[in-house]
Chains A and B, each alone.
Chain A
Amino acid sequence: MTTLAPGIDEVRARTFPFPRRHFLSALDLNVVEANALLDLADTFVDLNRQTTKKLDLLKGRTLVNMFFENSTRTQASFELAGKRLGADTMNMSVKTSSVTKGETLIDTAVTLNAMRPDLLVVRHASSGAAALLAQKVGCSVINAGDGQHEHPTQALLDALSMRRAFGALAGLTVAICGDVMHSRVARSNVNLLGVLGAEVRLVGPPTLMPAGADRWGVKVFHDLEQGIAGADVVMMLRLQLERMQGALVPSTREYFRYWGLDREKLKAAADGVKVMHPGPMNRGVEIDSDVADDPAISLIQDQVEMGVAARMAVLAALSARLDNDR
């Protein structure tokens, strides 16, 4: 995109108050709001490509990253997003702190809340943890991944990547492939893509498919090539290597043979197919490097770039909401 560098006025014009105080689930957005957020994110993509990337939209605001699970890229993405908008950002790696000393999640949150942050980004290994926190704190909570439930900003950045590649999401066929059962990325994408009018398919071995997924308004496939046949987007999910324990799949090589994406299997997809992956990738397990690194078909690097812009949009909208509430 070759738009002129956006000024603060344009950003302000596009910024709208977020529909809720918290962003916990992709289901918090309707189609109008989701598209408005994507429009705003587009503006930030342009901004991020300038030499001077900094705005003062969130000046005076405090953003706290509270990560109970390790994550390099999501944490860095939120931190950068906050800084580019002029917020004071702080990272708390809670995994090594007081939570292990018997303090509960709520205690930690209440303590933190007393320091009056404006935006709290939370990642936690338990589903529903972000929602629980949101009930107990006065600031805006952004779910950066709760257990196997949701990771809504990931769905937003994925939608942004797809919209920029294809122009629109309505009518696209998106195949989400791999370990759907344990994937919060898959759940958020199913929810947001549904809102935005894309056709979603879930592909994976039956042991990694959640019970009742066929009632999520998607089509379920166990065969990769059938599942991606005619698809415009193939989104591969990370297979945690500990899934070999507990008889979910027998080995990485058997997994790659049947559910790993390589150029040969990708032929079943539509012409002009784009490949995505939320990262970090297990090369040779769920995706072949040959596909992942091909700039003609891979959106994987775009996803990382879009991540910062999408999160800036979310932060800006939530901040506008806080202004409104005040």
Chain B
Amino acid sequence: MSRARPFAFNNARLVDPETGYDGSGAVVVSGGVIADIARGRDFTDLSSDVRVIDCNGGMLAPGLVDLRVKTGEPGAETKETLRSAAQAAAAGGVTSIVVQPDTDPAVDDPSVVDFILRRAQDIESCHIHAAGAATKGLRGEQMAEIGLMRDAGARYITDVERPIIDSKVMRRILSYAASFGMALAHRPQDPWLSKGAAATEGEFASRLGLPSAPAASERIGLERDLALAELSGGRLLVDQITCGAALEALARAKGRGVNAVATASINHLSFNELDIGDYRTFARMDPPLRAEDDRQALIEALASGLVDIVVSAHAPAPAEDKRLPFDEATPGGVGLETLLPALLSLYHDGRLPLVDLMRTVTLAPARFLGLPTGRLASGAPADLVLCDLDAPVIIDADKLVSKSKNSPFDGRRLQGQVVMTVCGGVIVHRIAE
């Protein structure tokens, strides 16, 4: 790992979501920030102490910002620690992550936020941010100390996938949090319709005999959440929207000026319900994988800008939590290392221009968090990813850096190899030659 010495990336394809630039160029990094940028040319007159890296035409873009990462720290360090998550992030070109508060103990108290951020100070491979719980113990009843957690450094509040069932509680949280400038991330679903469900209702789940819930559950939950956001004037982050009906509800609400931003998970952009196949528990997700029509609608929504942000929904689970009958297996998959190549499928398939696609994992989440990163600009933090866009990769779960290997992408053939990751001006990952 090299620190002090400045370095330059020459012969790169710069992709800057802030200006929309996608073209050749070069970048100089010094003192932890982007010191200089050249478009359409390389830096040739550099002083001899600058180390020059030839990008061979690979994409140089801002490092990825992932709003939704679970680790097992504190409480379940065998699944994932903050350090192992940061190393996985670096291997995937992700330079900022927001860890979720459903740990043990839960991050529902400023002292736990403080614990995580102190641990994060010693980890240089990724900027680690924390989200705080919306309610004490994520039980959906008593409000957590939102103001104190914000002052301790929490970036937003969420009860992760547990819905806040009591609408009065949710309204008050939205309204109270808004006064501290904090957004509430909330998973939309009708808790009764979705109770016990392991799959999306439909012909396929019926054949497999799996407990299932209709995708409409998400729309019902979302309509309520959006109405509460409108009523309270609060800021809502719709956590992992997945289906066409919910997207229509989101579009209507945004049209009325409701302060809502939605994320899509890479899993729901990449897989549909049929990927469960013969009870593959690695494809058990929460929300469950949807019909292909819904996946297509989600991609369209990303292309139209209705959905702004893509998350990895990184959810490490050890083998013993996955090698169970489908309805007993823990949902979710690790995703930090596969986020970028999986996302690039949408570029290779011609669904989104590269710069728009990259915005969903860089500038858009950075702006949501109020971070200065996610852009290629002089003075911006030197958080960068260098990626060989065309290199074929076969995902091998056993070779993942993450402590847990539960990747739904295991065995998938993707295109796009992270060559180098720079975080805060430090090279934190570099592919073996």
| Interface residue ranges, A against B (CB under 8 Å) | 104-106, 124, 126-129, 131-132, 146-150, 181, 184, 187, 210-213, 215-216
Contacts and interface: CB of A to CB of B under 8 A. Distances in A.
A126 to B, nearest CB: 3
B284 to A, nearest CB: 11
Nearest to A191: B207
A132 B325 contact: yes
A104 B320 contact: yes
Nearest to A106: B323
Contact of A212 (B202, B209, B320): B202
Contacts of B214: 211
Nearest to B276: A128
B279 A212 contact: no
A106 B318 CA distance: 14
Contact of B209 (A105, A184, A215): A184
A216 B208 contact: no
A127 B324 CA distance: 11
A147 B278 contact: no
A128 B279 contact: yes
Interface of B: 201-212, 214, 278-279, 320, 323-328
28 contacts: A104-B320, A104-B323, A106-B323, A106-B324, A126-B326, A126-B328, A127-B208, A127-B209, A127-B279, A127-B326, A128-B208, A128-B278, A132-B324, A132-B325, A147-B209, A148-B210, A149-B208, A149-B209, A187-B207, A210-B206, A211-B203, A211-B205, A211-B214, A212-B204, A213-B203, A213-B206, A215-B203, A216-B206
A132 B279 contact: yes
Contacts of A187: 207, 209
A131 B278 contact: yes
Given A187-B209, A212-B203, A216-B207, A147 B327 contact: yes
A211 B209 CA distance: 11
A146 B323 CA distance: 16
A137 B118 CA distance: 47
Contact of A104 (B201, B205, B208, B324): B324
B200 to A, nearest CB: 9
Given A146-B209, A148-B209, A211-B212, A127 B325 contact: yes
A213 B201 CA distance: 11
A205 B279 CA distance: 28
Please indicate which of the listed interface residues B203, B204, B205 has the most CB atoms of chain A within 10 Å of its own CB: B203
A105 B208 CA distance: 19
